[in-house]
Structures are given as structure tokens and as C-alpha cells.
Amino acid sequence: MTTAPATTAASTGTLPAAVLWDMDGTLVDTEPYWIAAEHELVDAHGGTWSHEQALQLVGNSLPASARILQAAGVRLGEAEIVEFLLDRVVASVRTHVPWRPGARELLRTVADAGVPCALVTMSYRRFAAEVVAQTDGALRVVVTGDDVAHGKPHPEAYLTAAERLGVPIDECVAIEDSPTGIASALASGARTLGVEAVVPVPPQPGLSRARSLEQVSLRTLAQLHAGHVIDLT
């Protein structure tokens, strides 16, 4: 699928009012960093941690993940666990930001078309800032896990992003990768695109799907905004 020129697509008036981007697994492939940090922490406390358990944390808020790690044998408080994970992942990202295929290019194309973009992530601001710094100002608003009272799958984070941008949530397109994040975006009322990364994205009513952001163009986003449900898998 080819990407329509930004000026032509924007002039049709069919682009969404905003695009709301998840971060881990959607813009950047940082889930392996989180999983490695989880293994290190559980091992240090004499527990066991499987890949299957790690996948259950994908998309969760950090406090929710901390509670699951406590149940796996980590003898630290929630805040201590969160800080340990953040320290490890921030250090990894400072060495290398692993962009998802097509993510950086699509983000730039959308921003250049005049569509406001927001980051909506359950990671905390000090980690998100490392990624945002490499987006050349494409992200106008950043909503992180430490900004909201209710993490995904609650819709608060997406509703907050739309409110900060000053746009109706049902005029936005949200891009997600995890079942937890997809549930949050759909519950908010945003048109939602699920792009598979670490965990499968099964079909469900109202959810559009793609194998990769390399398949997604301005025309795709306009179709989603118009109410079409698209399956590019």
C-alpha cells in the first residue's frame, strides 16, 4: 500500500482529528527490555519467571505488573519494583531505541500532514521522555502511566490524551499492540488499529488489524476515521 502525499490526503478533510500512539510494542520494540528486567529481578529473589508469565504483563500498568512480580517471589514494595524496572529499561533505551518497522516514518508522515499526535503509554514519564526526544517534536501530548489514576485497560489514558489535544475521542485513531491496550482504546471510543508485536491480536468487533505499520498510510488512517474496519493481516 502506498502512502498518499500529505498535502493531498489532508485536503480531503477525512484524516482523523488526532492519532494516539501506544509506545511499547507499537512505536518501539522495548518489550524484550522489560522482560529481561523482570527475569533479572525475579532471579535475584530466588523465584521463577517464565516467558509465558512475562507475556501476561504486556500492556499492563507498572503497579499492576509489580504486584504480579511480588506474587512470583520478589520481596520489594511496588514502588521499588517499578523503579528497578524503569532503571533497567531506561539504560537499555539510552543505548539503543528499537523502533518498530515503519513506526518512525509513519509518525513523521502523520505529523507532517498536520494531524496532532499523542503518546499514550503505561510506562512512566522518565522512560517515555527518552523515546519522545527522538521524535523531532512529532508528539504534541504525552500521557504516561504516572499521569493517570487508572491504567489500561481503563480508557482514562486515551480520554486524557484527546482532552489535552482538544479533540473529540471518537474523531481519533488509536494504534495499539496488546490486548490490554486495545481494550483501553476501544473503551475510550477511539477508532482502534491493532498491530501485532509480542502477543497475538485476535479479531474482535470494531477492531482494525495490521501485521506491520509499514502497511499503514494516511489513506488507511482516513478510512479508519470514516468508520471502516480494516484487516490487513
Sequential DSSP letters for 142-164: EE-GGG-SS-TTSTHHHHHHHHH
pLDDT at 3 over 90: no
What type of residue sits at position 101? P
pLDDT at 216 over 70: yes
| pLDDT for 51 | 87
- For this structure, is 87 an active site residue? no
Same domain, 119 and 210: yes
Same domain, 164 and 133: yes
Distance CA 55, CA 65 (A): 11
Same domain, 44 and 131: no
Distance CA 127, CA 86 (A): 7
Total domain count, the chain: 2
Distance CA 158, CA 22 (A): 10
Domain boundary among 46, 68, 95: 95
| pLDDT for 57 | 87
Q: How many CB atoms lie within 10 A of CB 197?
A: 20
- Judge whether 6 lies within some domain: no
For residue 54, what is the domain's CATH number?
Answer: 1.10.150
Sign of CA dihedral 69, 72, 75, 77: positive
pLDDT at 47 over 50: yes
| pLDDT for 59 | 76
Catalytic hit among 24, 112, 146, 231: 24
Which triple of cell numbers denotes residue 39? 527475569
Q: What is the largest CA-CA distance in the chain?
A: 59
Same domain, 221 and 118: yes
| pLDDT for 1 | 35
| pLDDT for 5 | 36
* Cβ–Cβ under 8 Å, residues 219 and 10: no
Same domain, 127 and 182: yes
* Cβ–Cβ under 8 Å, residues 17 and 113: no
Same domain, 47 and 23: no
Per-residue pLDDT, averaged over 147-153, amounts to 95
Same domain, 182 and 214: yes
For residue 176, what is the domain's CATH number?
Answer: 3.40.50.1000
- For this structure, is 22 an active site residue? yes
Distance CA 17, CA 199 (A): 29
Q: How many helices (H) and strands (E) does the chain have?
A: 10, 7
| pLDDT for 203 | 96
Residue 108: band (very low, low, confident or very high) from pLDDT cuts 50, 70, 90? very high
| Percent share of the chain, pLDDT over 90 | 82
Same domain, 89 and 146: no
Provide the mean pLDDT of the chain: 91
Model pLDDT for residues 163-211, shown as the tens digit of each residue: 999 999 999 999 999 999 999 999 999 999 999 988 889 999 999 999 9
Vertex 166 angle, CA 160 and 167, to 5°: 90
Q: Which domain holds residue 78?
A: 31-95
Of residues 227, 222, 224, 229, the one with CA closest to residue 109: 222
- The DSSP letter of residue 24 is B
Distance CA 27, CA 5 (A): 22
pLDDT at 36 over 70: yes
Distance of CA 107 to the CA centre of its chain: 13
